Amino acid sequence: MKISNFETTTCSRCHATGRHSFCRECRDVCFKCKGSGVVLTKRGEMAKAYFLEISSVSANELKVGDKIPTLGITMDGKSYNYIATVDSIEKSNTNGSGGAGRIDQDGGYTSVTENGVVTITKNEGGVISTSTDTYLSISMTSEKYGKSSTLMAGKSRVRVYGDDQKEKLEQALAYQESLTKSGTIRKTNTKKK
C-alpha cells in the first residue's frame, strides 16, 4: 500500500529532501519519513489504520487461497517482504518456544501447549491472569520465492489481499474525509428549526 493514497504533508524533519543527519548504517536517510520526504497527516494516519483494520482478519479466519504478506530472510540476515498464497492451515502442537512451554526467571510467565491450544498464565505483581489461544502452522507459496511456512497465533490479525482492495481503499478515503484536521470524527450540524 502506497503512502500517497492517504493525506500527507511535507516531512518537518528533513523539509521534503528525504535526507537528514548521517549515520553509518542508514547513511543520511531521514528516519521520520524513511527518505520519502512526506509523512501522513493525523487524518491520513487514522484512515490508513482504518484501511488496515478492514483489510485484516484473525489468523483463525484465514482460508486456503488467501493472499497474505510474509517476511523472508536472506542468508546474510537481510529481510524482505512478499505476498504469498495460503496452501494449508493446521493446528500446531508448538507455540514457537519449543512446544513444552516455558517459565521466565521470576516465574511471571508460563505457557503450556496441548493439542494445538496454548494456555498462557501471567503473574504481574501478584495478579494472575490466564488466556488461551490456538497456534496455526500455515504453509504458503509464492511464484517468485516458492514454498514457505510460518507459525501464527490464532488471535493475531493478518492483512488479506483480495479482489475488494479497491473498494476498501475507497471506503477508507471516505472515512478520511469525515475526519477533522486532528484526526477526530467531524461533528455534524443538527440544529432544529
pLDDT, tens only, 25-79: 778 899 889 888 999 999 999 999 999 999 999 988 999 999 999 988 889 988 9
Give this prediction's pTM: 0.68
Of 43, 45, 44, nearest to 181 by C-alpha is: 43
The CA distance from 22 to 53, in Å, is 36
For cell 537481510, the residue is 78
136-174: pLDDT as tens digits:
889 999 999 999 988 887 888 899 998 888 999 999 999
DSSP class of residue 123? E
Q: What phi, psi does 81 have (nearest 5°)?
A: -105, 145
Contact between 68 and 159 (Cβ < 8 Å): yes
SS3 167: helix
CB atoms within 10 A of CB 136: 20
Q: Where are the domains of the chain?
A: 1-55+165-193, 60-160
